[in-house]
Amino acid sequence: FDEPNEATKLEDLNYYQKLYYHKLGTPQSEDSLIYERPDQKEWGFSGQVTEDGNYLIITVFLGTDPKNLVFYKNLQDPDSPVVELINEFDASYSFIGNDQSVFWFRTDLDAPRSRVIAIDTNHPDQAQWQEVIPQADETLEGVSLLNNQFVADYLKDAHSSIKIFDLDGSFVREVELPGIGSVGGFNGLRYDTETFYSYTSFTTPATIYRYDMVSGESTIFRQPQVDFNPDDYETKQVFYPSKDGTQVPMFITHKKGLQLDSNNPTYLYGYGGFNISITPNFSISNLVWMEMGGVYAVANLRGGGEYGEDWHQSGTKLNKQNVFDDFIAAAEWLIGAQYTSPQKLAIAGGSNGGLLVGACMTQRPDLFGAALPAVGVLDMLRFHKFTIGWAWCSDYGSPDNPEEFKALYAYSPLHNLKPGTAYPPTLITTADHDDRVVPAHSFKFAAALQEAHEGEQPVLIRIETKAGHGAGKPTSKIIEEIADKWAFLVRRLEVEV
């Protein structure tokens, strides 16, 4: 981007991205401009060089829309033009690697759960594209190239499954994982015969494994030491019906021996947007909650990427209410299964998840004992007017579109607060330098909620200083915020500690 204006940096819209080449050890002012499109102010760019060093791959994206373009430049000829290989926003294309002029991509074109295709740049017409790995029942999240084979990262009901294929698409083996959890890694060069991956679950700290691509054996490389016994806890996955009958998965983790007496303090987390999959992950802070006897539940809502692009689209724009229905149904299921009661149930989410919490607490204030919307998008009629907010229209729709405005207005948390309503105890969190979701969302919602709320239950806002949307926050600030969050819930849900 161009250098921001200090006075308006939290209000200026993020337009006109450019792609530069930077040489380490030199000042940024000496960077070389590689590509720009002044005629396309909303386009964003990312660049990567192929392993053989012959091509620069330019991925062109439009806000947060998963659909993208792919251009490339021949680096062996400095005067070569940028070639528009894929020039329509018709699907998602993620570059995997190449064999000379043949490029491999993961794409959801004609495959909502994604597949692998090959494009020969000498014959780039779509009719000449070759399918290498067809769409499976699971969702293909990523592919890497190792040992001259494809390593495919699948999601099966929101947990990882890793499969290896030869370059012709022939199945080789499935990697044996320690359990139901999330896997990351499997990076390296095309002919590497070993790689590393991390495995984590709700009760397993992230452990790094060395993987032999030839023998298929995994060995522990690094295992963190955490002072707790994972055997004291259990995780189960349930499937519950949403309002329209759609089956939605949910993970539930707690100490073994839990009594289903409707009296367990329960923390229900969700996100449901932007094609992002919420998978099992270890968290010390969540462990603290469970050590106190709490239940930790994660609902895999529509709008996410757990079941591919169809699942994502069923929770966007005019379908956004499905996400809130899924979350409300999760709460009702937990109550019906006697895990908890409305007085003992807290809901939480951040960013788009903050919108989720805000919408659900305004639609069903009777259902929750506490609400924690963090750095949330809460004004759905003006979100597109600040910083990068315009880029979210691919998921939310645009307030400038009459039909989408009607849908946005129907659930916008700020605009659906009703005076004289008893809302649940609420702790809103934000930061004064959040330039992703500007803190004005939280400021306005807190003020309007305090005005509309009836009763003695608290409505609080916690504003972190010298911090942003969350990334890069110092450990000390994270600890302070988590301590305040658990203290709030211990008090409001009457947790015995």
Residues recognised as catalytic: 351, 434, 469
Q: Is the distance from CB of 19 to CB of 1 less than 8 angstroms?
A: no
Two structure tokens written together for 74: 């021949």
Ramachandran area for residue 176 (φ above 0: left; ψ -120 to 50: alpha; else beta): beta
Q: How far apart are CA 311 and CA 457, in angstroms?
A: 37
Whole-angstrom distance, CA of residue 413 vs CA of residue 391 = 20
* Whole-number Å distance between alpha carbons of 256 and 231: 8
H helix or E strand, kind and range, residue 360: helix 352-363
220 with 227: CB under 8 angstroms?
no
Long-range contacts of 49-58, Cβ-Cβ distance < 8 Å, separation of 24 or more? 49/75, 50/97, 50/98, 51/97, 51/98, 51/145, 51/189, 51/190, 52/98, 52/100, 54/98, 54/100, 55/98, 57/95, 57/103, 58/19, 58/82
DSSP code at position 231: G
Q: Find the DSSP H helices in 150-304.
A: 284-291
| 3-class SS of residue 283 | coil
Give the angle subtended at the CA of 450 by the CAs of 448 and 454, to the nearest 5°.
120
